[in-house]
Amino acid sequence: MFDIGFWEIIFILVITLLVVGPERLPRIARTAGLWVGKMRGFVASVKADIDQELAAEELKKALKKQASVHELEELIDEVTGAPLAAKESHPAGSSTRRLSKDNNDQPANTADSDDAAK
């Protein structure tokens, strides 16, 4: 980030010693060290938050991709009439039921039946 070498640090320390004096230099160095520690902690916290958000986004993308694959398998099953391996992944008590257009066992719409009864 900063390209500060050994001689630049020595130069800054000498100037600080001349400006501040030897009596207050340890206290100023301690305070500067605390500030640097706080800044490092803040940067580490921000990095951790960014990494967590990136991991969450990757997980969302993976789940979305997996959901789209499942929907494609169901569409292929519906068109071909031959179930793929996706059908085996459904549990025995699963409520997925395929209804074809030429079967009359489709569930009736309750709003239409209520209107017809009136």
pLDDT at residue 88, as a whole number: 52
- pLDDT tier at 100 (50, 70, 90 boundaries)? very low
Provide the sign of the torsion angle of the four alpha carbons 2, 6, 8, 10, taken in this order. Answer: positive
- Percent of the chain predicted with pLDDT > 70: 67
Place of tokens 């030429």: 102
- Render 64-82 in DSSP notation, one character per residue: HHHHHHHHHHHHHHHHHS-
- pLDDT tier at 11 (50, 70, 90 boundaries)? very high
- For 50-82, the pLDDT digits (tens) are 999 999 999 989 888 887 777 777 878 888 877
